[in-house]
Structure 1
Amino acid sequence: MKLKHLVTLVLILIASGIKAQNIVGEVEYRYKIFYDKIYSSMPHLTQQERDRILLTWGNPDGYSTRMKLQFWPDKSLYTYGEPYEVRSYSWQVEDYFVFNNLAEQSYLKYMDQMGKTYVVRDNLTAPKWRVMNEIRDILGHMCMKAVSEDPIKGQKITAWFASDIPVPVGPEELFGLPGLILAYDINDGMLIVEAEKIAFGEPSEIITLPKKMKGKEVSGTEYLELVKNFIQNSVESKQAWMWDLRY
């Protein structure tokens, strides 16, 4: 379903009387990554390298940080939560902002990736979602399951969206479903992002992008090509690419 159709659906739902207070708010997510599962799934790594990484980073409980999403009917803002808990990347807090402008169907991403800072601007193109016949409760909201794929990173994505919160946005770079994405996982639990708290109404402190965004400006297509080449080079050199690229 194209984004403009989803936006139209959202407006129809709002006009139909779905809880108006549910279209503005803030969500706190727990972003949890499991290195032991990720490295075990990478056939290009040598057994010695796999053992070394697992000895250093193996943790059955995963490594986590907090993330924060603020949303309105026409836009969303996403970055690290407060306080910063970057236990998976303990030596630094990376810049990472995602701004989706639903009214203009465009986005801006400002992030430290692959050893550089990038400013990525382009038109919004929603992932190809398949809505499944499964539901689960998240923070008192009945959520439906949807699945998609990231062919560049080789990832299977499972998301859960709340149709009673009719905004087509979500955490990280996911959007395009007829309801707020409250949870998702990659490759059956290698990465799990799930809402821990949601508050409706205008956020008390709006996320602001840095006044001076110093970085390499690229389009979305150019950025995806950089990611593709980076992963390919990492595989050829038998290295784990997620050290420099958000999983």
Structure 2
Amino acid sequence: MRNLFFLFFGLLSLAVSAQNNAGTIVYKQTVFMRREAQAMAPAGVDQNMTRNIPESMTTEFELNFTANESFYKELASRTDESAGEGGGMRFMMRRFNPPIYKDLANNRQVEENDLFGKQFLIDDVIPTRAWKIAGQQKKVLDYPCISATFTDSIMGRARVVTAWFAPTLPVAIGPQGYGGLPGMILEVEFDGGRSVVTAAEVKLQKPAEGAIKIPEKGKKVTRAEYQKIQAEKMKEMRESGMMQGRQGGGPGMIIIRN
């Protein structure tokens, strides 16, 4: 049945016009910051400390793509920090959405990542994920979409990711580096809605010259090397008492003691 499903959507993708293979998509990411902060705060932290954190924050991103390449980047910079007054703590909301380049033809992904002020350039194969086609349907910007889910673990925290992909846009990519489904991902939801990335505009035309580029800043590492460095740094910060927190879907929350 699974093979028949992918065969059906593979044939559907071939049936759509070639112009759907290139374009620009603007995504809006909404993070419900107070809900995220409460869920990610370490045990024992007074939940009332989050009362001064804004309810939500919205950031725009742009995905330029062709049949073989894509580049995802943030469009507008926003304030990352929200401070509370209680308990001598400061809440810092940090985004983990680096610019990401994908070369679908050669199974290559390159992304810039900042880890506590040091730049890294992760150059590796495109990650694969164990998507499960849930089969639910809805429209995103009038594009019929189908849901798919997977569960992963980031910094020791389980996270449920739900994506909505459009088979009529036959490119296996999406926001935040997600992809691998039989159609463009137009919406991604983390942990039941604590963070949502959804397409706000789709333009099906060849991207402007230079809109798709390969990131170049930072020390080049593989994904495994970066994850090892990240884990070591987080452990070091926690043991020193300087930081508590975990990374989640969208931004992470870091609690810094004054």
User: For residue 3 of structure 2, what is the aligned residue in structure 1?
Assistant: none
Evaluate the alpha carbon distance shift between residue 147 and residue 166 of structure 1 in structure 2; reply closer, same or farther with a 3 A threshold. Answer: same
Which of these residues, 156, 159, 172, is aligned with residue 155 of structure 1? 159
Which residue of the partner structure matches residue 256 of structure 2?
Answer: none
Deviation at 1:199, TM superposition (A): 0.3
Amino acid at match of 1:224: Q
Change (3 A) 1:230 1:160: farther
CA distance in 2, matches of 1:219, 1:231: 18
231 and 129 in structure 1: CA distance in 2 versus 1, 3 angstrom threshold: farther
Residue-by-residue CA offset, 1:170-191 (whole Å, 9 max, x unaligned): 0012111110000001111111
Hey, what does 1:220 align to over in structure 2?
Answer: 223
> How many residues are paired up?
232
- In the alignment, is the contact (CA less than 8 A) between 1:45 and 1:240 conserved in 2? no
Per-residue displacement from partner, 1:41-70 (whole Å, max 9, x unpaired)?
13524324x433x134241xx101100001
Structure 2: any 5+ residue segments left out of the alignment? Answer: 1-5, 83-91, 253-258
Task: Kindly indicate whether the alpha-carbon contact (under 8 Å) linking 1:97 and 1:110 is maintained by their aligned counterparts in 2.
Answer: yes
The CA deviation string for residues 208-245 of structure 1, in whole angstroms up to 9 with x for no partner, is 5488x3422210111223344455566665613449x9
Taking the aligned partners of 1:21 and 1:242, their CA distance within structure 2 comes to 38
Q: Does residue 120 in structure 1 map to residue 125 in structure 2?
A: no
More strand by share: 2
Amino acid at match of 1:143: C
Q: Please tell me the residue identity of whatever aligns with 2:60.
A: R
- CA RMSD for the aligned pairs? 3.2
Query: Gaps spanning 5+ residues in structure 1: where?
Result: 1-5
- Partner amino acid, structure 2, of 1:21: Q
Given that 2:9 and 2:167 are in contact with CA atoms closer than 8 Å, whether structure 1 keeps it comes out as: no
In structure 2, how many angstroms separate the alpha carbons of the residues matched to 1:136 and 1:41? 28
Structure 2 counterpart of 1:221, one-letter code: A
Q: 1:187-198, aligned counterparts within 5 Å?
A: 187-198=191-202
* 2:25 aligned residue: 27
- Equivalence for 2:42: 44
CA shift in 2, pair 1:139/1:46, >3 Å: same
- Partners in 2 of 1:199 and 1:156 — Cα distance? 29
Is 1:57 matched with 2:49?
A: no
1:1-247 correspondence to structure 2 within 5 Å: 16-42=14-40, 44-48=42-46, 50-52=47-49, 54-59=50-55, 62-81=56-75, 84-88=76-80, 96-153=98-155, 154-207=158-211, 209=213, 213-230=216-233, 237=241, 239-242=244-247, 246-247=251-252
Report which stretch shifted further, 192-201 or 93-102.
Answer: 93-102
* Whole-angstrom CA distance in 1 between matches of 2:144 and 2:30: 22
Q: What TM-score does the superposition give when structure 1 sets the normalisation length? A: 0.81
Separation (CA, whole Å) in 2 of partners of 1:137 and 1:11: 20
Identify which range, 38-47 or 183-192, moves more after superposition: 38-47
Deviation at 1:148, TM superposition (A): 1.0
* TM-fit CA distance, 1:118: 1.2
AA in 2 matched with 1:204: A
Q: Give TM-score, length-normalised by structure 2.
A: 0.77
What SS does the corresponding residue of 2:226 show, helix, strand or coil? Answer: helix
Letter in 1 for 2:244: Q
Contact 1:67–1:80, Cα closer than 8 Å, also in 2: yes
